[in-house]
Amino acid sequence: MFSRRNRRPRSPDLAAAWERLDGGDVPGALLELRRAPAAPLGEVAAVVGRAAESAGFDDLRRAAVALAAHPDRVRPLYDYGYACVERGVSYLAIPALREALRLAPDSVGMLRELVSAYEREGRHRDAVEALLAHEDGLGDWPDRYLLVFNAVLAGDLELARRHHARLGAPADDVWLGARDRQNRVLERAASAGPASPLDHSDLRGWQYVMGGTVLGTLSPHGYGAGMTGRYAWFQDSHDQCLQGLLRLQAVLAAAGVRPRSVSLLPDRGSRILGLAAAEVLGLPALPFEEGREDTVVIAYDLDDTACHEEGPDVIAQLLRRAPGQVLHEHASCWTDPPAVAADSVTLLHQSVVAPWGEILRLGDDGGAERGEADGRPEAEIAADIVGADPTPDGGDGETPADPVEKLTDFVAAVRGTWLRGDRAGLRSSGPVASSRFGG
């Protein structure tokens, strides 16, 4: 058992974390630990142990107790790091696993666990450096594969291609799918390179390389303030929905894709947008059916689809691509990506309010208030989308212009590598960083 009395920290960096715990604020304590990366491991473990005890995470509590007692031993360091990764606090695992690897530099298992923690934190360059530091001992699967994977997500295509060329065929069939996905990633990079800079601000280019997603629009606000084309909080509109559908229409034309129907997913938002898409594209609207070919499947937000009672089955079906099927998602969360990477996405957000949701309005007193959700029939709201004004938002004047011709030129360049393979979800925001709300 941990107590404030017998685990009083020597490091002043941890005082705020202890105060948060004393107030019963476990998330706040963990946030304070994120702000104190250089604090002594044994003292950090004491804080984590008490937080884990409060949260009922007995595995992490036991590992933290052991590390607090023996912060210089490999096994407690590894067990604690592993438990932190499993409990979703990978940033706490990294210092412990890094120290464990220093003490046991030949441990491949230690290296892989450290790489896993770096990946979960989006620290792909650090993962690359850790793997390169042990390059002489790397096996192809999974170690060199992980080096290529993280090099791509760090934006280093030259390094990725060099090590990809050294990969032999996997001896275990479990790696065949990963090999095929990595092949497609590098093929997409080769097709996108002549049409897009693939630098650390090229959001559209990297979304395509990583997941095969064509990004239809870039946020016209906050580009220079660190958003680089993504939205943080976004209140959507009928106008934006129509703009997204018209850009989808332009993407399909540039790629030479000619669908014969629009498929409606089961959640309300997707049905509304799907009915509007059918009007815009001049195609019949049909309920989604697994395996239907030559169709555009319309999702408003795939996270909403996943929450529908039919959602888990639908998401699993969308992972497997049918010939001629295009999956379009209007609003895709980039901080917590859906399990499926759509082929086309209108915009990337951290948090979104749909036009038919409880949108914020100006109240009579001049303050913001939430309105009621639009409960009208889906077809009526879809008609409002079709009749909306698709003129792009003029933005803040600091975002690079993104006319539709720029989008279609990109699609024309990559059309040979689009719509191939499965739709495995993204786990990383990749080489293009954006500001975000929250810790």
CATH of domain 199-414: 3.40.50
Q: What is the pLDDT of residue 366?
A: 62
233: left (phi over 0), alpha (psi -120 to 50) or beta: beta
The residue behind tokens 């689009």 is: 418
Q: What is the pLDDT of residue 10?
A: 57
253-285 exposure pattern, b = at least 16 Cβ within 10 A, e = fewer: ebbebebebbbbbebbbbbbbbbbbbbbbebeb
Asked whether 284 and 278 are in contact (CB, 8 A), the reply is: yes
Q: How far apart are CA 290 and CA 322, in angstroms?
A: 8
Class assignment of domain 12-184? mainly alpha
Asked whether 130 and 164 are in contact (CB, 8 A), the reply is: no
Q: How far apart are CA 337 and CA 340, in angstroms?
A: 8
Write down how long the chain is: 439
Q: What is the pLDDT of residue 152?
A: 98
Structural domain boundaries of the chain?
A: 12-184, 199-414
Q: What is the pLDDT of residue 369?
A: 79
Q: How far apart are CA 130 and CA 140, in angstroms?
A: 15
Q: What is the pLDDT of residue 360?
A: 75
Q: What is the pLDDT of residue 397?
A: 86
**Which residues of the chain carry a pLDDT beneath 50?**
1-9, 439
* Identical fold between 12-184 and 199-414: no
CB neighbours of residue 249 within 10 Å: 16
